[in-house]
Amino acid sequence: MSEQPFRFTLEARDGAARAGRFSTLHGDFRTPAFMPVGTHGAIKALTPDQVRSTGAEIVLANTYHLALRPGEGLVAKLGGLHPFMRWDGPILTDSGGFQVFSLPNKTIDDRGARFKNEVDGSEVDLTPERSIQIQNALGADIIMAFDECTPYPADERLAATGVRRTLQWTSRCIAAHARPREQALFGIVQGSTYLHLRERCAAALVGMDLPGYAVGGVSVGEGHEELCRITAYTAPLLPEHKPRYLMGVGLPEDLIAAIGFGMDMFDCVIPTRYARSASVFTRRGRIRLTNRRYRRDAFPIDSSCDCGACAGGFSRAYLHHLFNANEILSAILASLHNVRFYERLVTEARGAILEGRFESWRAEFLAGYAASGTKPDDAAAEEG
């Protein structure tokens, strides 16, 4: 028995694809796993019960947003993030590194990052130590090392600086981590599109013997092919018996490819963000419910879906009407469906891996999914 409460059990391998289980103090989640994103401590438009009904076993919350508002001190005072957001299963918090990277005006040096607080305009200082202090207070089961996310495209010098800082910062995070027996600290592999930098970063992080590893600096505009090239190269550099998390990815075809390369965990705002702009996933591709063709459509979003919207009998025509009338229920039903679509995707992939038929499952899924594909009228939804 490990002395740590968290433990990754590899249950099956099929090619490079894996099925596993990660145990935390707040229960287990099975992998491949998709984590719906709860930026402010809430999955947009869904109650925790509704999130649970999609099959999600772990959710993500953002350190950066929660530190600015309501502040980690208040969350800690109210018992931590689990009771605060009424989610008693596993939670992962990011480090804030990616959010800082997304800000227009920030200063980053070896010490950390400085930027303006978008809530009250004050100056914020986010260092590896501060990120861990916030995450210790929030109390998620998995916390992330503070990293420097290199923009895309980046020249090699900039990417190398990102790797150097990420490694130094990870060491500082390990030193600052006050709750290592309750919270698993994952390291993040950076290196942009430079495979030798990815290799250097992965090797150094593996030497730190962390309970899990992530591939970061992807989903920053590099596209599906580059994402596949980076992930295919980096995944096998990570320890076999620890979970591997691909950050911020992605569309269904990205997830399926990454599972095939041996990644285990995923998070993305796509299912909930697209849902709010009427873009929903079906087994035959994505459709836009505001399109006039659904005005009299009596069918559910996807007849094969068992989510609360589809199995609940809500028609495309009704959803079309709700979106046009700007009813809040449109966001609820579409989010319920899209998150369930992603959870079914990883659950089916897991089932196929356990039965040794991942390749045939993937071929069948993608053939059906590409049958109609993304229609031109969906393009606007991606901007949402």
Residues that bind Zn ion (CB under 5 A): 305, 307, 309-310, 337
Rg (CA), the chain: 20
- Minimum distance from CB of 289 to Zn ion (Å)? 12
Specify the DSSP class assigned to residue 220.
S
Q: Is 377 a catalytic residue?
A: no
Residue number with CB closer to Zn ion (184 or 339)? 339
Q: How far is CA 332 from each of CA 46, 133, 293, 337, rounded to the nearest angstrom?
A: 6, 34, 22, 9
The catalytically annotated residue of 141, 254, 264, 267 is 267
Is 280 in contact with 286 (CB distance < 8 Å)?
yes
Grouping H, G, I as helix, E, B as strand and the rest as coil, residue 250 is coil
Separate counts of helices (H) and strands (E) for the chain = 14, 16
What is the per-residue DSSP string for 188-211? EE--TT-HHHHHHHHHHHHHTT-S
Q: Is 267 a catalytic residue?
A: yes
Residue number with CB closer to Zn ion (159 or 309)? 309
Residue number with CB closer to Zn ion (62 or 290)? 290
Residue number with CB closer to Zn ion (101 or 342)? 342
- Which H or E run includes 281? strand 279-282
Residue number with CB closer to Zn ion (184 or 309)? 309
- Minimum distance from CB of 287 to Zn ion (Å)? 12
Residue number with CB closer to Zn ion (1 or 328)? 328
- Which H or E run includes 22? strand 17-24
Compute the distance between CA of residue 363 and CA of residue 306 in angstroms, rounded to an integer. 22
How, if at all, do strands 17-24 and 27-31 pair? antiparallel
Q: Which two tokens stand for residue 271?
A: 């299912």
Length of the chain: 384
Is 33 in contact with 39 (CB distance < 8 Å)?
no
Residue number with CB closer to Zn ion (183 or 282)? 282
Q: How far is CA 119 from each of CA 67, 69, 115, 165, 216, rounded to the nearest angstrom?
A: 11, 8, 12, 28, 27
Q: Which two tokens stand for residue 206?
A: 């593996």
Compute the distance between CA of residue 32 and CA of residue 266 in angstroms, rounded to an integer. 8
Residue positions annotated with a catalytic role: 94, 267
